Amino acid sequence: MTSTSNSTPTFAVISGGQVQHALQGREKQIVKLAEDTYRLHSAGDSVNPPSYFLRFADRPTSRIIALPASIGGQIKVDGIKWISSFPENVAAGLPRASAVLILNDHDTGYPFACLESSIISATRTAAMAAMAADWFSRGRQRPKRVGFFGVGLIARYIHTFLKGTDWSFDEIGVFDLLADSADGFRGYLERSGAAKQVTVYDSAEKLIRSSDLIVFATIAGEPHVHDMSWFKHNPLVLHVSLRDLSPEIILGSTNFVDDVEHCLKANTSPHLAEQRTGNRDFLQGTLGDLMAGTATAPADRPLIFSPFGLGVLDLAVGKYVYDEVTRAGELNVIEDFFHELKRYG
Ligand SMILES: NC(=O)c1ccc[n+]([C@@H]2O[C@H](COP(=O)([O-])OP(=O)(O)OC[C@H]3O[C@@H](n4cnc5c(N)ncnc54)[C@H](O)[C@@H]3O)[C@@H](O)[C@H]2O)c1
């Protein structure tokens, strides 16, 4: 039970193991949840202020981001994701990102759970990517050749979600600057039963030219793909890492984002395109516009979807996990967490 105004508030801690158990194999359900949540957000039934970036002069490649949010509808929960990105972790054998999610009760504001959230974050990112791949391929031939550009944890989750939502591919291309990453991802693909179709490319150009659906999940801080001719076959691009494509490529393509104000910030490629042109004319709309039928996605240009990633999705997935763990009777409540509850002692 979450805290309410007439009962003693409780506080639970949910481990990564519990989160994974609640989400594993539920790709279709989670994509549906992401879609419902994103529709609520697009309809204005959310509060999703800009993410706050904490950066460090002594650790310039690292950051910690706060994503406060509130979502309405049936979910009705507030909260905040606090997520670190320390890219040097990977060489030391630790994942780049680590995170917690705090859920706050809608009626009392009391925090009622703290969840391990690197899995929740990767899950909602992959769910959004799979949902976007589906919506954006409705007006064009459904891609049969997928290319993963940058193959860490997020690429693995996106592949899992594409597969779990009935995508099948004739060819799976892989490109990464690090041979270890490409090998690791290939190993994952082999274990997932996709071994026969896999090609590891030794150049970015070859991967892009060989793929109709391209997933960018690098950690590039500034654009490193500049050549528009690589995209002349008009692929669908899920630009999840947000900073890979030069403004020229953005300007030569049809562009969609998840949320305009969020995405045109923090030197993302669409933000650089806005700085270059002084306007937002290059934006066709949001995925929400496409879903509502107020924007169309022409198939005669490359289509780039740049999702900034919304805190409301973390909340929805986090609340789903909380409910599942509660239903299973496995909620680990911290006794006496809220202690000073009588006003005058
Ligand atoms: N938009 C969103 O909602 C959202 C959400 C979560 C993560 N992300 C982003 O996804 C990206 C990937 O995250 P991750 O956890 O998988 O990281 P990771 O460190 O596990 O993997 C990144 C991989 O990209 C490779 N890489 C880096 N630069 C490259 C380049 N120029 N060309 C080719 N490969 C390159 C690295 O070698 C590494 O294997 C990050 O940028 C992260 O910020 C976006």
pLDDT in tens, 208-252: 999 999 999 999 999 999 999 999 999 999 999 999 999 999 999
Checking if the pLDDT of 123 tops 90, the result is yes
CA distance 19 to 178: 30
Q: For 16-22, what is the mean pLDDT? A: 98
Output the pTM of the full model. Answer: 0.97
Q: Look at residue 65 and give its three-state secondary structure.
A: strand
Residue 3: which pLDDT band, with cuts at 50, 70 and 90? very low
Does residue 6 surpass a pLDDT of 80? no
Q: What is the dihedral of CA 217, 185, 315, 1, to 10 degrees?
A: -170
Both structure tokens of 91:
């060489």
CA 12 – ligand 1 centroid, Å: 31
**Polymer length in residues for the chain:** 345
**Looking at ligand 1, which atom is closest to the CA of residue 175?**
33
In percent, the amount of the chain with pLDDT more than 70 equals 98
Index of the ligand 1 atom closest to the CA of residue 155: 16
CA-to-CA distance for 14 and 5, rounded, in angstroms?
Answer: 23
Q: What pLDDT score was predicted for residue 1?
A: 45
List pLDDT tens digits, range 239-297. 999 999 999 999 999 999 999 999 999 999 999 999 999 999 999 999 999 999 999 99
What amino acid occupies position 147? G
Closest residue CA from atom 17 of ligand 1: 152
Angle 44-317-131 from CA coordinates, rounded to 5° = 70
Give me the pLDDT at residue 183, please: 97
Q: What is the DSSP string of 224-258?
A: -B--GGGGTT--EEEETTSSSB-HHHHHTSEEEES
The model's pLDDT over 166-203, given as tens digits with 9 standing for 90+, comes to: 999 999 999 999 999 999 999 999 999 987 899 999 99
Q: Is 179 in the pocket of ligand 1 (CB under 6 A)?
A: no
- Nearest Cα neighbor of 319 from 140, 172, 142, 104 is 104
Q: Does 314 contact ligand 1 (Cβ within 6 A)? A: no
Q: Whose CA is nearest to atom 20 of ligand 1?
A: 152
* Average pLDDT for the chain: 96
How far apart CA 254 and CA 167 sit, in angstroms, is 23
Name the CA dihedral angle for 291, 159, 142, 222, rounded to a multiple of 10 degrees: 70
Which is nearest to 208 in space by CA: 155, 152, 148? 148
Q: Can you tell me which residue has the tokens 């070859």? A: 206
- Kindly state if the Cβ of 306 falls inside 6 Å of ligand 1: no
Tokens standing for 341? 């509850």
Kindly tell me if the per-residue pLDDT of 5 is higher than 50.
Answer: no
Paired sense of beta strands 77-85 and 97-104, if any: antiparallel
Burial of 328 (0-12, 13-18, 19+ CB in 10 A): exposed
Above 60 in pLDDT, residue 129?
yes
For ligand 1, atom 18: residue with the closest CA: 152
Q: According to the model, what pLDDT value does residue 282 have? A: 98
Helices (H), 24-139: 27-42, 118-136
The pLDDT confidence band at residue 140, using thresholds 50, 70 and 90, is confident
Distance 239 CA to ligand 1 centre (A): 11
What spacing in Å lies between the alpha carbon of 97 and ligand 1's midpoint?
10
- The confidence score (pLDDT) of residue 2 equals 56
Establish how many alpha carbons lie within 13 A of residue 274's alpha carbon, considering only the half-sphere containing its beta carbon.
Answer: 14
How many angstroms separate the CA atoms of 115 and 305, rounded? 29
